[in-house]
A and B are shown apart, each in its own frame.
Chain A
Amino acid sequence: MKRTFADLHLHANLKKPEDARRLIAKAAKLGYGLIAVPTPPETGRDEVARLKEVCGEVGVDFVSRLDLRPRSQGELLRLLRKYRRRFELVCVVCESKEIARQAAKDRRVDLLSFPSLDWRKRFFDCAEAELASSGLAGLEIDVRLVLVLEGRARVRLLSSLQREVEVAREFHVPIVLSSGVVELMLLRMPREVAALAGLFGLGETEAVDAVSRVPAALVQRNRLKLRSGFVAPGIHVVREGDDC
């Protein structure tokens, strides 16, 4: 079966629809079949519908995604309660250890992101991975920084990523590779993203899966959950009414 490549973190600028359209069209041209664009929670339904339409025009599947940057555990829980069912994908940007731990153990969180360049503020360690593996969260790695950084900063980032990949592998935490790009010129083909992942220790098959099977499975699982008849994993309402 042919792989569907996914980029779950395409930073299309929603305020500039033409730029967003160009970015999505280019992603489609480069071979992506599944795209997630982070939208702020207050985004109108018509705006999301427009994005979906653009994706439909170029033949890619659109996934609605919410990026949460909470400042406390309480805020994270409140935001998850409020928005989880409105988005197909929820990513938590972990800027403190407290948030990272809460996000890892919460089964409503799909992706954990650690954007900091400072290794002390990247909280994906063994404890975090253990929590994430018992929850459902995966580790998202954006390759954008690998492209834009140079010299010592890139070396430091790569060594942090190598450690995180090793930890994720040990605790069976799924790894998702995304672009995280805003700029057209930084968008790369899925196999190129997979090749770049070799720099932080992902094997060839593992890396290709991280841009195809892993994100696709994550989206499929969530779509099933968001269906009206969903009861629990493996159980869904087939029919209801008096004649059942």
Chain B
Amino acid sequence: MRRVKRRYLLLRFEVERVPGEREFLDAVWAAVGKLYGEFGASLTGLALISYDAAEKTAIVRVTLEALRMVRASLASITCIEGAEAAVHVMAVSGTIKSLHKRQQHLFSDV
């Protein structure tokens, strides 16, 4: 069987009211489902790896093939739980370790 290549996405969200982990993940799934349907969503291999409400960041895992689909879905999120929102992909990496390194680098610049 072919090994599934995955990518880890560091997300930063802008929201008026910070959502809980469950609400955030629901919003992401809803966006993928809305744009690509249930079949499309099944190809993404989407999973939430970590969620930091204080920093407004999250890390999700997706399959490499579905990276563009997930990016478009995340960009299409305009509200979470009735509050205006935007989700940005800050970095994409093949391993969580290198993503954490990039995260430190990114946020030390801010």
B-contacting residues of A (Cβ < 8 Å)? 30, 146-148, 150, 185-189, 191-193, 195-196, 198-199, 204
B88 on the A face (CB < 8 A): yes
Q: A185-B14, A185-B84, A191-B89 are known contacts. Are A199 and B74 too (CB-CB below 8 A)?
A: no
- Pair B89/A189 contact, Cβ less than 8 Å: yes
- Pair B71/A192 contact, Cβ less than 8 Å: yes
In the bound complex, CA of A175 to CA of B71 (Å): 21
A146-B76, A186-B78 are known; give 6 further A-B pairs, CB within 8 A. Answer: A30-B88, A147-B76, A186-B86, A188-B88, A198-B72, A199-B72
Q: How many residues of B contact A (CB 8 A)?
A: 16
Chain A residue at smallest Cβ distance from B36: A199
Chain A residue at smallest Cβ distance from B16: A185
Chain B residue at smallest Cβ distance from A193: B75
- Pair A147/B78 contact, Cβ less than 8 Å: yes
Nearest CB in chain B: distance from A232 CB, A: 41
Partner of A185, one of B35, B76, B78: B78
Query: In the assembled complex, which residues on chain A have CB atoms less than 8 Å from the CB atom of B69?
Result: 198
- Pair B68/A188 contact, Cβ less than 8 Å: no
- Pair A195/B75 contact, Cβ less than 8 Å: yes
B85 on the A face (CB < 8 A): yes
Nearest CB in chain A: distance from B36 CB, A: 9
Partner of B78, one of A148, A193, A195: A148
- Pair A195/B88 contact, Cβ less than 8 Å: no
Q: A195-B72, A198-B69 are known contacts. Are A188 and B78 too (CB-CB below 8 A)?
A: no
A-contacting residues of B (Cβ < 8 Å)? 14, 34-35, 68-69, 71-72, 74-76, 78, 84-86, 88-89
Query: In the assembled complex, which residues on chain B have CB atoms less than 8 Å from the CB atom of A189?
Result: 75, 88-89
Query: In the assembled complex, which residues on chain B have CB atoms less than 8 Å from the CB atom of A150?
Result: 34
In the bound complex, CA of A147 to CA of B69 (Å): 15
Nearest CB in chain A: distance from B67 CB, A: 9
Query: In the assembled complex, which residues on chain A have CB atoms less than 8 Å from the CB atom of B72?
Result: 192, 195-196, 198-199
Chain B residue at smallest Cβ distance from A203: B68
In the bound complex, CA of A15 to CA of B75 (Å): 29
Query: In the assembled complex, which residues on chain B have CB atoms less than 8 Å from the CB atom of A199?
Result: 35, 72
In the bound complex, CA of A196 to CA of B78 (Å): 13
Nearest CB in chain B: distance from A131 CB, A: 31
- Pair B88/A192 contact, Cβ less than 8 Å: yes
Nearest CB in chain A: distance from B74 CB, A: 7
Nearest CB in chain A: distance from B72 CB, A: 4
Q: A148-B78, A199-B35 are known contacts. Are A185 and B68 too (CB-CB below 8 A)?
A: no
Query: In the assembled complex, which residues on chain B have CB atoms less than 8 Å from the CB atom of A192?
Result: 71-72, 74-75, 88-89
Query: In the assembled complex, which residues on chain B have CB atoms less than 8 Å from the CB atom of A195?
Result: 68, 71-72, 75
In the bound complex, CA of A188 to CA of B86 (Å): 8
Query: In the assembled complex, which residues on chain B have CB atoms less than 8 Å from the CB atom of A198?
Result: 68-69, 72
Query: In the assembled complex, which residues on chain B have CB atoms less than 8 Å from the CB atom of A187?
Result: 86
Nearest CB in chain B: distance from A162 CB, A: 14
Nearest CB in chain B: distance from A117 CB, A: 17
11 example contacts (A-B, Cβ-Cβ < 8 A) are as follows A147-B78, A150-B34, A187-B86, A189-B88, A192-B74, A192-B75, A193-B75, A195-B68, A195-B75, A198-B68, A204-B68
In the bound complex, CA of A150 to CA of B75 (Å): 14
Query: In the assembled complex, which residues on chain A have CB atoms less than 8 Å from the CB atom of B35?
Result: 199
